[in-house]
Amino acid sequence: MYADYLKPIYRWLHITWATIGISASVLMATAKGHPPGLVFVPIVLVAWFAGHVLLWLSRKLAVKGRLAAHNQAVGDGKWPVLLILLVCLFGAVFIFGAFGLFWQMFSGSRWGIELISMTAIWLTAALCFFGILMRLDWSRNLAGAGFIILAAILLYEIIASFMRGYRNSPAEWATALILSVLLVLLGWYILRSSRIKTFFVR
């Protein structure tokens, strides 16, 4: 019933991703320097292939989520713009974070607090990405709480830097505070919005 409703959108997404991959490969292959850009072409091709696989998988999960929503008679309309943006955000973190973690492990990085934090953020983004596509309500709660926790971490870091004696400029303080408030508001909206809630299945 819903098997084809996303085909036109995803057809253009695949074309766009293929264009980006071809352009990046050509730029790498013709780049000069040391090491030569040609050695990075296989990495670009792997990322290009992984992106197409992720697009295909996300479409399958979105169709499955819409079918589940239809069966429960909830959220059977268009996707809210905020959720589309969140899926794009979490998808980008998922795919690029996977390459980042692989590179960290390949380069022999030890499991310190930074690598553990990166892995935790990546896992959270991955769960939110797949959960939102399938319209599972726990992913909404995880995403909303995640943004609020991220705001708390940001505030903690700026206060900790002040306590350590670092001199932050007023612009840095203002940026951190504004960003923290925006993250809290975004998280709160995801958790409390009735429009967002009715889109998910329980």
Each residue's pLDDT tens digit, 177-187: 899 999 999 99
The whole-number average pLDDT for the span 189-200 is 90
Q: Quote the pTM value.
A: 0.78
Classify each residue of 158-177 as buried b or exposed e, where b means 16 or more C-beta atoms within 10 Å of its C-beta: beeeeeeeeeeeeeeeeebe
